[in-house]
Structure 1
């Protein structure tokens, strides 16, 4: 392992699974708690009858217990802590006790309608829960989430009293501390609200599915398949990286871990074949970030989105599939354009895994994946957590069979093989539980913001303010564009410091209602609201590669040896097609399989005869936009060619008459043949024979 790879792995551990390297009984205790959490969540999915508040409080208690053990308050690079200090034992115990208090007392509190005046421990436990949640969020998510949550708490507490400059509100007169704690800790619109409910009920099972699937060896197999299929084409190293990241995105909800998992192999190969260190890192960042767009997991936000829209999970992942495909197809075009610019060839055939042999070696990985996706998409009555649980059980059986088969081949006894299988399973369970810490804490902390938006009416107030700004423009289309652009900026800025799931929750509470109001959407119709939710979700994902934070870019740069800021800027340029796709979905909801039926927007109502032409036009628009932003199609574009490509891509964003689409295609064709007619010997012109 190189020094860069080691530093990248440390980044992932510090950011997502905890940076402490524990030994002895403390490491054993982490394993026991993590495995217990997994077993509890599997049991909860199996019985399906645990009271929601009970499930949520126990879920958060497990997250608290692990967070203070594996996430140090301050991590020294290259010198991780090897034991849990006594202070963290105390804080972890207090946090866990505060969460479990509501498991024990929630029914009594609910029957009372809130905090009990004759039970002062209610207020103490509520206050402790909020404080410990903010501290845990600081450790696991960084400073941004607790600061934003604290600002909202102060906003609700101060109201219009103006006790602190800039922390005051014209929308309400302020709430007392007991009122706030009652809203945040004892109300299902606060910490124990919908977001953590989805985390506890569904997200955990899918994250565990990804951890077990990866431990089974699927991630490595995806990499080999991608190399065997695309590695021989021009710029094949980058194309294989993109395909493998997309496949891993099906099972992984983390851009940073996806960068490290795949980048350890792909980044070095890209550099060796001619990509600069920054471009190699940027391609890996862009493809790994977009992995969160891939159904069925979608960075864990898909489950919360389905809950917010009150639609079947099946409907959501079917709607999200076409944009995700377009996003990756366009990124493959970006990598091809870069290969043309650099005059690169594909990987030598001797370095490529044989296609037939590779497919035969791992075909069985498609069994659990096919079962999961097949049942979720074909059965409207399918329960997502039950399907995920069944898939996990299938993979556990496969893991033990795999070890027995390999053991027979390697000369190990069946007993030894079963023990090795058990060890792998425990490692997978621990990895899944540790990956869930940040998600559980993020959804709980986001509940603070959602609860305060609800109690203060902040969302309505902001909508009125934004509408006043939008009304400065007389044209309705311009007004909508202004609001979308404002929402885009907020999502990008917040996303620099927030995990994708928390970013989406915050945006869905604050920005989505504003866009819906300005655009005149029917908020009770999920088909009208889905494009707005997807819009803010896509820009939240783009934040992973947006400088100056861009943790995924720093991880890629650690592997490539390139400059992190330049890597992030280059990745952001590659991600611009994702931004265009977000606008495409909003203005052309056919891409989400939404059509009007009897004058009402309806999910899944688009016939393929109508969808296919729209998909083709959208893809061509993304290709034109990518060529414009990279200033290269067949060769470097001149200013007129740049403008033609850009205008054509914008025309193809919005549903228009066929004549306009034909005109846009004509512009793109004109630029292409204009460049083809030029000299083939100009600098940057590709070789006549593509590899």
Structure 2
């Protein structure tokens, strides 16, 4: 066996151990059972996502076919537990070539405890809260087997965290301190286990529901696309586009990882998929092993930030933040694009510092300016195509109406045409990265040779984002379902169709296409094992919070340590996310930290006078959960990259985290500058925000790399950091020269509110005794002004204010009113200290904050002029 094949095998083994299961039974029927279970699970998920259950139930009169959709969470977890037990050895010394007897026992117990909820669902529904002995027994068995499944597929950290919350549920009532904060007196065995297992508040809660209805379909879609050759096409296009530039393979690694990350939920699998080819190429042109691995790690981990899929956490945000999926994509788009362009720039600076060149390429080379235009215009092109498609759809609406058949016919014609075009070019085979003289392929034949792979992604994005008169946007689940169905068609037909157009025999290609389809079903299910059990275990944590109010305890500890300082709190949450993320997958990390800390960040921000949108907090947690994948000493993506590069995994992780500093900066920025998340930002301003934020991030990257046009002096790096801050936070400097708000207290505050323009947000600072601690604390809310009538504006928000002794007393808001969740349930309105509106603030008319871009850009020009004489090589 060659050294290269050993390296590839080591990396693949790491992916198997971390993502898909390391057991490979030598006994034929056991291996077939694992494969068959994977196939059945994938087909089951497609079945429940389709309309077939309802159609079959209506035609046969058998309600079991319709009810299976309602019971899908239980079946989903049963598959996940079964495959986790069969595919992952319990310990490192457990047999990998066979399934031992104790695993068969665990399979039977785990599946039975899940299907118990399906078989006896009517009897369980008749005794809510009055759980029988068999209910409690099956719940205890299910919890234990689930924990074992989590341990064998994800390791010990999530088991420890989930177990800690279970212990708190049983024994938290014995702590006087915790009892005073949460008013929780403890739970009996029956109550706790029933809460966790017998209803949808614990294991089978929102997280597992999202895994069942959405995440699986997106993961299956990505697996089918990769097995059909889409992943290879992404890599080849990236190499063709960027490979001949300075440090080209590293830049291609960034671009291909971004494209692969759009449909991949695993940073480790992304690292191995693209890194197997790009890391050896980076080493051949002069990158050290650790830096080559670090580039791939930074690129692959950030792939989960890239819309439209964004791993699994994006779908959970839809449920937790309660906003449409299209809004999650909109908020995530700008930071992801800026982050990737900045990483391309970091790679370019590294290449400059090392004096590296790119790959050889036949024919005309594309200049760097053209590359930048193509890269930026790519997003503009997508927008233009979307508007053109909307226009085309509007023209066809009178003919097509609500019918889907014309749309299917149109897509089918486009697909056959693109396959016919691809048939004119050689198939996209993966080149040998260890070839003596690797060369970058030509762009045109590479792009056209697999352009039909973009159609399923286009269908996915179209269904998620485009709405017309007759057709509403589809849900994420339905969008993924139809994209997956089309991807299945592509996997089955693209090979025989190309053979047909080339006039070759297509029997062998048909068999190969069928093999791609089956392997995609298997890979999709195996990639879901860890996510399935992780969302079940994370449900234990969420269930404990709903049962006990544990987040208040943890939140108060973190808040006390932070001392009410939002910056310190954010740093603590970032560190917590990184630490937990070292042992948890991104999805579980996001669920845990967002459940515990999101309300605390919003609350502390409000106490500090900063209104932090909930989506910004969830994105903050999500970003740092992803960064944990390359954080030493545990970052598994760094170990996977080191297995390919033969570098030191710790040094690879440290270097990768160094490249990701720019990504770590973004969450802090969009907490304080929500323009980056395109919150309440129009199209024209969004363009300005994009370019200014991009320039600022590139400047920040140059400062952290110590190289701009030439090697930077320390004061030049400091100046670049200052410029980046001016561009990111112009409002900070504006606040120093002009007060942002006019403030008033008492009755004068009502008069001030009455002077505010219609619909302008007026800030109210409310102070009162905390419901749990009786400590008087402030918080800030916003109220839209209404035609100069302050009382009408307050009443429209469900707020009643009375003037007494020069104070504005606030009555308790009714449940269901806009601010009940922020000030209604948080304050004690019947204590000795009243709840009062202490201050009213109305924003002033000020100069545009964008004026501070001018001195920042002039200062940047000065740095350029100072460094230019010291430049020893062209900038590109």
Structure 2 Cα separation of the partners of residues 509 and 111 of structure 1:
31
1:654 to 726, 729, 742: 729
Which residues of 2 match residues 366-445 of structure 1 at below 5 A? 366-379=454-467, 381-408=473-500, 414-445=506-537
In structure 2, the partner of 1:623 is 698
Structure ID, larger Rg: 2
- Structure 1 range deviating more: 99-108 or 255-264: 99-108
1:433 is paired with a residue whose SS is helix
Contact 1:21 1:80 in 2 (8 A): no
Contact 2:90 2:152 in 1 (8 A): yes
Contact 1:98 1:128 in 2 (8 A): yes
Contact 2:466 2:473 in 1 (8 A): no
In structure 2, the partner of 1:131 is 144
In structure 2, the partner of 1:151 is 164
2:89 is paired with a residue whose SS is coil
Which residues of 2 match residues 69-80 of structure 1 at below 5 A? 69-75=86-92
* 1:412 to partner: Cα distance: 7.4
Contact 1:583 1:653 in 2 (8 A): no
2:97 is paired with a residue whose SS is coil
* 1:672 to partner: Cα distance: 2.6
Contact 1:340 1:634 in 2 (8 A): no
* 1:411 to partner: Cα distance: 8.8
Q: Does residue 502 of the first structure (1) align with residue 613 of the second (2)?
A: no
- Structure 1 range deviating more: 617-626 or 656-665: 656-665
Structure 1 Cα separation of the partners of residues 179 and 639 of structure 2:
37
Contact 1:587 1:653 in 2 (8 A): no
Gaps of 5+ in 1: 474-478, 596-605
- Structure 1 range deviating more: 441-450 or 377-386: 377-386
Which residues of 2 match residues 110-509 of structure 1 at below 5 A? 110-116=125-131, 119-161=132-174, 171=182, 172-350=184-362, 351-379=439-467, 381-408=473-500, 414-470=506-562, 472=563, 479-509=565-595
1:14 to 1, 14, 17: 17
* 1:115 to partner: Cα distance: 4.5
In structure 2, the partner of 1:593 is 678
- Give the total of aligned pairs: 659
- Structure 1 range deviating more: 46-55 or 225-234: 46-55
Structure 2 Cα separation of the partners of residues 9 and 168 of structure 1:
49
Contact 2:181 2:552 in 1 (8 A): no
Contact 1:213 1:395 in 2 (8 A): yes
Root-mean-square deviation (Å)? 2.3
Structure 2 Cα separation of the partners of residues 108 and 586 of structure 1:
48
Structure 1 Cα separation of the partners of residues 130 and 355 of structure 2:
69
* 1:87 to partner: Cα distance: 1.2
Q: Does residue 42 of the first structure (1) align with residue 46 of the second (2)?
A: yes
Q: Deviations over 1:86-108 (max 9, x none)?
A: 11111111111111111222343
Q: 1:141 to 1:655 in 2, by over 3 A?
A: farther
* 1:383 to partner: Cα distance: 2.1
- Structure 1 range deviating more: 224-233 or 581-590: 581-590
1:663 to 855, 858, 864: 855
* 1:113 to partner: Cα distance: 1.8
Structure 2 Cα separation of the partners of residues 551 and 401 of structure 1:
36
Q: Does residue 108 of the first structure (1) align with residue 115 of the second (2)?
A: no
- Structure 1 range deviating more: 624-633 or 552-561: 624-633
In structure 2, the partner of 1:520 is 606
TM (normalized to structure 1)?
Answer: 0.91
In structure 1, the partner of 2:822 is none
* 1:456 to partner: Cα distance: 1.1
1:520 is paired with a residue whose SS is helix
2:624 to 539, 546, 550: 539
Structure 2 Cα separation of the partners of residues 420 and 468 of structure 1:
61
In structure 2, the partner of 1:603 is none
Structure 2 Cα separation of the partners of residues 689 and 510 of structure 1:
47
In structure 1, the partner of 2:869 is 677
